[in-house]
Amino acid sequence: MRTIQCDVVVVGAGPGGSMAAKYCAEGGLDTILIEKKAEIGAPLRCAEGVSKSWLDEVGIKADPTWIRADMKGAIIKSPQGTSFQLDESKAGAEVGYVLERHLFDKALAKDAAEAGAKIMMRTSCIGIIREEGKIVGIKAKSLGEEIEIRAKCVVAADGYECQVARWAGIDTNLKLSDIDSCIQYRMCNIDVAPDYCEFVIGSVAPGGYVWVFPKGNGVANVGIGVAGQLCTKGADAKYYLDKFIAEDPRFEKGQILEIMGGFVSTCPGLDCAVDDNIILVGDAARIIDPITGGGICHACRTGMYAGKVLTECAKTGDFSKKALMAYEKMWRDRMEDKLFRNFMAKEKLATLDDETIDQLIKMISTADLKNVTVYNLLKAVKEKFPQVVEGFEDLI
Ligand SMILES: Cc1cc2nc3c(=O)[nH]c(=O)nc-3n(C[C@H](O)[C@H](O)[C@H](O)COP(=O)(O)OP(=O)(O)OC[C@H]3O[C@@H](n4cnc5c(N)ncnc54)[C@H](O)[C@@H]3O)c2cc1C
């Protein structure tokens, strides 16, 4: 069997993997990035919405090639039609872009390649190699050929399925209540606001929300995420999305150009995202916003942190769990509180009836918020509806 040697092998060329590969290669590590699919970023499994606030932090320069639409704001709606409009003047960089995700992912992989990472497409990790109990690389199938890639550290960036971590013996199991199932239609011929991302919460999408993210010229990603155990018996994500579309006159002439489905985890992140000679980033570590399901920024941040920590580890040659704990500290310091707070908010939101949601949105739209962030919204909610934030008031 052919064997390839490198310092770091990164499994998965999503945003997390490409960022990890880029920062490892920039740090001088011999880096291989493998991707099982034939095309990076395709098929699409994303609503393509991001805020702008984190791009600088991870060293990504906004590029018109992957920005499909620049948003002026967001609209949050209740099923009864009450809405709250969030504009750039108040939300700042929290307002964002609708991407061409397949181009965004390719741009990040290109950055990794330019930094010196080697990309192997149609190369699927099929197992972990251990010697005397220690992880020393991965087994892969590359264009039909079984190969070994031996490395000092494996970066598991294989997304929601996170098989690599499981093969390494890390428990990534999810509770049913921490999974949202999603379906999205790319629709045309629809009459939606061209520069506002829309979120509809409440009984239209039990445990999740409906999104309408405009892509210009009467086209938008219209999708839904729902928590299965909160749905009416026999109803699934498609049932709720079709119902929402059928009841909204803006979609009367709409046609579907593309359908996709997928899952997002809505838990606060793994207890530990490292072990000896392995590090987990992005969705594979369950590091994703539990309330919005937004994971692109978290994948990019954790990918960058992983690359930086691995660069340091290479200086001493120590890739043990103890040495990799520097990564744990980095992502937890930056994100843990927020992810946990949003997890608690998601749990609460799922218990509220439409009337309470309506009152909440009315209250938020009249509250004097200078800067609208999830944190400030929760602060306003805490003042008027303390029962809604019961259990996590200390985090607000
Ligand atoms: C329906 C839906 C809508 C979403 N909408 C948004 C949104 O609007 N905004 C947002 O920020 N986030 C959104 N997300 C979440 C976002 O897509 C993820 O959080 C993000 O892609 C995580 O990046 P990642 O690099 O960790 O994993 P991924 O992007 O999933 O990348 C993992 C990569 O690993 C590859 N891979 C898997 N297994 C192997 C293997 N064995 N060998 C080799 N390669 C492998 C996969 O092919 C894939 O390319 C959405 C998710 C879903 C499902």
In order of start, what are the domains of the chain with their CATH numbers? Answer: 2-42+101-174+270-343 (3.50.50.60), 67-99+176-265 (3.30.9.10), 349-395 (no CATH)
The residue to mutate among 97, 154, 158, 181, having the most atoms of ligand 1 within 8 angstroms of its beta carbon, is 158
What is the whole-number distance in angstroms between the Cα of residue 75 and the centre of ligand 1?
A: 25
What is the whole-number distance in angstroms between the Cα of residue 336 and the centre of ligand 1?
A: 20
Structure tokens, 182: 């999603």
Q: Is the CB–ligand 1 distance for residue 288 below 6 Å?
A: yes
Query: What is the C-alpha separation between 308 and 56, in angstroms, rounded?
Result: 16
Query: What is the C-alpha separation between 364 and 351, in angstroms, rounded?
Result: 19
Please report, in tens digits, the pLDDT of each residue of the chain (396 residues total). Answer: 999 999 999 999 999 999 999 999 999 999 999 999 999 999 999 999 999 989 999 999 999 999 999 999 899 999 888 998 888 777 666 679 999 999 999 999 999 999 999 999 999 999 999 999 999 999 999 999 999 999 999 999 999 999 999 999 999 999 998 999 999 999 999 999 999 999 999 999 999 999 999 999 999 999 999 999 899 998 999 999 999 999 999 999 999 999 999 999 999 999 999 999 999 999 999 999 999 999 999 999 999 999 999 999 999 999 999 999 999 999 999 999 999 999 999 998 899 999 999 998 888 888 776 666 777 778 888 888 888 888 778 777
What is the whole-number distance in angstroms between the Cα of residue 20 and the centre of ligand 1?
A: 14
Q: What is the pLDDT of residue 380?
A: 81
For residues 139 and 133, is the Cβ–Cβ distance under 8 A? no
Q: What is the pLDDT of residue 374?
A: 73
What is the whole-number distance in angstroms between the Cα of residue 283 and the centre of ligand 1?
A: 7
Taking the CA atoms of residue 125, residue 269, residue 30 and residue 107 in that order, the dihedral angle to the nearest 10 degrees is 90
Nearest CA to ligand 1 atom 29: 14
Q: What is the pLDDT of residue 354?
A: 94
With b for 16 or more beta-carbon neighbours within 10 A and e for fewer, the 166-179 pattern comes to: bbbebebeeeeebb
